[in-house]
Structure 1
Amino acid sequence: MHLQIPAFLAASAFLTGLCAAVPVEQRPIKGKHAGPHRGHHGDDPFNKDFRDPYDHKIDTVAEDLQPLPIRNGQGTSILGPRNKPREKQNPDMIRPPSTDHGSMQNMRWSMADSHVRIEENGWTRQTTVREMPTSKQLAGVNMRLDEGVIRELHWHKEAEWAYVLEGSVRVTALDVEGGTFVDDLNKGDLWYFPSGHPHSLQGLAPNGTEFLLIFDSGEFSEESTFLLTDWLAHTPKSVISENFRLPPNTFDSLPESEKYIFQGSLPGSIDEEWPKGKGVKKSKLQFTHHMLEQEAKNSTGGAVRITDSRNFPISKTVAAAHLDIHPGAMREMHWHPNADEWSFFIRGRARVTIFAAEGNARTFDYSAGDVGIVPQNMGHFIENLSDDEPLEVLEIFRADEFQDFSLFQWMGETPKRLVADHLFKTDPESARKFAEVVESAEKDVIKSKWRKDVGVAEGEEVDGDEVWEEFQEYEL
């Protein structure tokens, strides 16, 4: 493969955001500059002399840069009080891209800003519509249970979907036909309990577990759970006695209030603990799923695993995609027609611009532990801010199936003349090149870094500085 840089650099700047879906083994260009935002005016993108008309990403954390509200000669410094670490995590808040416009609501929240409820060897925190008003369709709870710690027997008005972030956990449940379910799960596994289904959770050896819970209503509150101990504490003991056919004094030692999260005894194997009564039967439902064991759909810039009612039939109200986005890569420009996107960032740093129609767009930056919202049908992308570290994200929806529309695919499957009339009316050469790139109409869900795709094949020797200088001349 030979370098074709000049021809590609002559194309419209729109090509910078779209790459051909050709899965090829590639290696990074070697050069002294790490990011595409470096230009002829020095290495500080927050200097008044710096110019970047194409709004490239800036990884302020990795490059140890302090953001300022200065862009292309406009703006000035900050004289008042500052939270510099917070600014560094959110460079596009301090200096938004020139394409941002309007007064879009906040679409970002960090679990680090949520109130933590601390219990016996465990804790929980939540992001709901109360913490984040745009989180209308789903609510999220982050919970930690140490070894042997129990999230007590309970049920909810809402359905519960969960992803195991670390460790191991035992889940138990009962279905509406009286069928019993018990399973042990590990990192990357899921469970789903429909509304009203009773269940429990317990951390296993050696370090317990941490997981993300998703509920199919933004109005959910972890405090409104129906708990076994809370119910019995508020029921006359004479009624409890009658119900279980035991003397009332049998229940004198019941907890006086909810236990919620508490240290339990260490469980044995599932076989050892399986209920032995005559009426016990195994549930016909499968409440758990091994998401990370699914075969991944590979793209040029990463891998995607989708779990919804098609491969996890019980999950009727929550669908999800797990994204591994390679360094420098991007979840392609797209939108979702059937639900809001509720994202949880597990690892890495990301930039997301949300297009809301009527000329409105806003860019947000996300780090591990952050929650993002993209309302239904709003166009967006997820760009890995780092050229060195991977990005891991969960996209979650209140829907029975995952659905999205790809901008790349749409352009490829629309008549060339119509696209050209829209985008390149006065530039037929760029129209021709654009049509060639999108001709395959192949969705590339996660796109690898554009300059890698066009320039460097495995084993090819390239002068990275020479390529970079040529790229700079075109842009700046």
Structure 2
Amino acid sequence: MVSDIDKFYRKAPQNPRSQSPNSITKTDRNPTDAKIDPYGTGIRPEPYRNGNGASILGPRNLDREKQDPDMIRPPSTDSGHLPNLKWSFADSHMKIEEGGWARETTVRELPTSVELAGVNMRLDEGAIRELHWHKEAEWAFVLEGVTRVTCIDAEGGNFSDDVHKGGLWYFPAGVPHSLQGLGPGGTEFLLIFDDGNFSEEETFLLSDLFAHIPKSVIAKNFRLTPEIFDRIPKGEKYIFQGSVPSTIELEQPSRGGIKPSRYQFTHNMTGQKPLEASGGQVRITDSTNFPISKTVAAAHVIIDPGCLRELHWHPSADEWAYFIKGRARITVFAASGTSRTFNYVAGDVGIVPKGMSHYVENLSEDEPVEFLEIFRSAKFEDFSLEQWLAETPDRLVKEHLFAGDKYNGKKFLDALKAGKDPIKAPVRDSKL
């Protein structure tokens, strides 16, 4: 037996391949604003929608348009004016250093990134992000490789750990620390800071500190003579090639009076048991399972091909999304009849301001979407649209949405599920 939803999909074409082998034309009809995936279908988006629009005659950036099909051909539901909520690290300035590089996405690159800032950093094997500290807290997710981290806490406790792919670290504001790439190929990671105005140029660096304090004072501070410091660096080192470290045990300082920290600054995020949804997986890391992380909470999300991170919103913090794999679209509803749709690929950053409803749809039928939802908050919180309606009296829901339409109102109410299913699998008849 064919389900009603499958009858609908059979009647409503999911892409306009039948109208044109290469691109959307004026004859295209897509009344439900179904997704378009130029990479998966080979169909080029054009500014035509349900008989409206016209071709582009002037210069074009076809590669960019292919990545942003809902920019060139927005859904009919887009309305009003929302500021830009998307940035790609590919458009960020690359700071190239000895043994590594860094590039950032802050409020300067993306004005809507007011609560958090991000830095994408690479350290080759043995390369060191020099001893430093920040005015802001630092949260990090390892994208590839292994990173050696060291720090001391505010009580003078010593901490070191090797953080592997999918692992995190968090250093509260002011905590001095260092990072180093380990193993063949080194490491790459995403750094998050709990202030959108953060700048890598304003980091407090050890070499920079020594270069800008009188040598007489440095000598007095360390009970030495000034000439000891004649050959110290004359400016910041930032990232530089160092020697390959030994094990953590062999690297520990040998002098007396050192105590281990009683705080855990690292966490294996992808090693957590996931919440298994019908259309993917979610792992949440916040202060409830990573207590040191008081200002940053995050979810690691995998959306299976063709599936949907459900309609939801976050009540107390903006979402700072970072896409690791796949192709996705997000529509942000900002109230007052305003909504706008954006498309994202790996390396992109998306902002969703607090309270604004949105979804994340996997555009591909073959590849999963993997991304991070990150918040300036001690705890991860969201509200599910379906869960809300499922736990609201049926009469209220029906009279809001289906007044005078008992048949479809009953079908809608029967379909509602009160349980949590943050990633929805598409409904398909098992016999098809």
1:208 aligns with 2:186: yes
Superposition map of 1:392-403 within 5 A: 392-403=370-381
Residue number in structure 2 paired with 1:447: 424
SS in 2 for 1:62: helix
User: What is the TM-score normalised by the length of structure 2?
Assistant: 0.97
SS in 2 for 1:133: coil
Q: State the 1:296 CA deviation.
A: 0.3
Residue number in structure 1 paired with 2:200: 222
Q: State the 1:41 CA deviation.
A: 4.8
Match 2:167 to one of 174, 189, 201: 189
SS in 2 for 1:450: coil
Residue number in structure 1 paired with 2:60: 82
Q: State the 1:426 CA deviation.
A: 1.7
Q: State the 1:39 CA deviation.
A: 7.8
Residue number in structure 2 paired with 1:326: 304
Residue number in structure 1 paired with 2:326: 348
SS in 1 for 2:227: helix
Q: State the 1:62 CA deviation.
A: 2.1
Q: Is the 8 A contact 1:44 1:50 kept in 2?
A: no
Deviation by residue 1:277-323 (Cα, 9 ceiling, x = unmatched)? 21111000000000000000000000000000000000000000000
Task: State the one-letter code of the partner of 2:135.
Answer: K
1:98 aligns with 2:73: no
Superposition map of 1:290-309 within 5 A: 290-309=268-287
Cα distance in 2 for partners of 1:99, 1:169 equals: 45
Q: Is the 8 A contact 2:40 2:365 kept in 1?
A: no
Structure number with higher relative contact order (C-alpha < 8 Å, ≥ 6 residues apart): 1
Q: State the 1:38 CA deviation.
A: 4.4
Q: State the 1:42 CA deviation.
A: 5.8
User: Identity percentage over the alignment?
Assistant: 61
Q: State the 1:49 CA deviation.
A: 1.0
Q: State the 1:253 CA deviation.
A: 1.0
1:374 aligns with 2:352: yes
Residue number in structure 1 paired with 2:46: 68
Task: State the one-letter code of the partner of 1:107.
Answer: L
Residue number in structure 2 paired with 1:360: 338
1:286 aligns with 2:264: yes
Q: State the 1:236 CA deviation.
A: 0.6
Q: State the 1:5 CA deviation.
A: 1.4
SS in 1 for 2:250: helix
Q: Is the 8 A contact 1:37 1:45 kept in 2?
A: no
Figure out how many residues of one structure are paired with residues of the other and give that number: 432
Cα distance in 1 for partners of 2:42, 2:96 equals: 34
Indicate how the Cα distance of structure 1 residues 437 and 153 shifts in structure 2: closer, same or farther if over 3 A, else same.
same
Q: Is the 8 A contact 1:302 1:326 kept in 2?
A: yes
SS in 2 for 1:176: coil
Residue number in structure 1 paired with 2:25: 47
SS in 1 for 2:358: strand
Residue number in structure 2 paired with 1:140: 118
Residue number in structure 1 paired with 2:3: 5
SS in 2 for 1:410: helix
Q: State the 1:37 CA deviation.
A: 2.8
Cα distance in 2 for partners of 1:41, 1:389 equals: 26
SS in 2 for 1:92: helix
SS in 2 for 1:286: coil
Greater strand content: 2
Structure 2 residue runs without a partner (length 5+): none
Task: State the one-letter code of the partner of 2:3.
Answer: I
User: What is the TM-score normalised by the length of structure 1?
Assistant: 0.88
Q: Is the 8 A contact 1:41 1:51 kept in 2?
A: no
Q: Is the 8 A contact 2:16 2:24 kept in 1?
A: no
Q: State the 1:44 CA deviation.
A: 6.4
Q: State the 1:40 CA deviation.
A: 6.9
Match 1:436 to one of 414, 419, 422: 414
Cα distance in 1 for partners of 2:124, 2:426 equals: 40
Q: Is the 8 A contact 1:320 1:394 kept in 2?
A: yes
Cα distance in 2 for partners of 1:249, 1:44 equals: 72
SS in 2 for 1:256: coil
Deviation by residue 1:123-146 (Cα, 9 ceiling, x = unmatched)? 000000000000000000000000
Q: State the 1:227 CA deviation.
A: 0.3
1:425 aligns with 2:423: no
Cα distance in 1 for partners of 2:413, 2:17 equals: 30
Cα distance in 2 for partners of 1:385, 1:424 equals: 30
Q: Is the 8 A contact 1:409 1:441 kept in 2?
A: yes
Cα distance in 1 for partners of 2:79, 2:23 equals: 21
Indicate how the Cα distance of structure 1 residues 263 and 253 shifts in structure 2: closer, same or farther if over 3 A, else same.
same
Structure 1 residue runs without a partner (length 5+): 17-30, 463-476
Q: Is the 8 A contact 1:168 1:184 kept in 2?
A: yes
Residue number in structure 1 paired with 2:214: 236
Q: State the 1:450 CA deviation.
A: 2.6
Cα distance in 2 for partners of 1:138, 1:200 equals: 21
Cα distance in 2 for partners of 1:257, 1:385 equals: 48
Deviation by residue 1:349-403 (Cα, 9 ceiling, x = unmatched)? 0000000000000000000000000000000000000011110010000000000
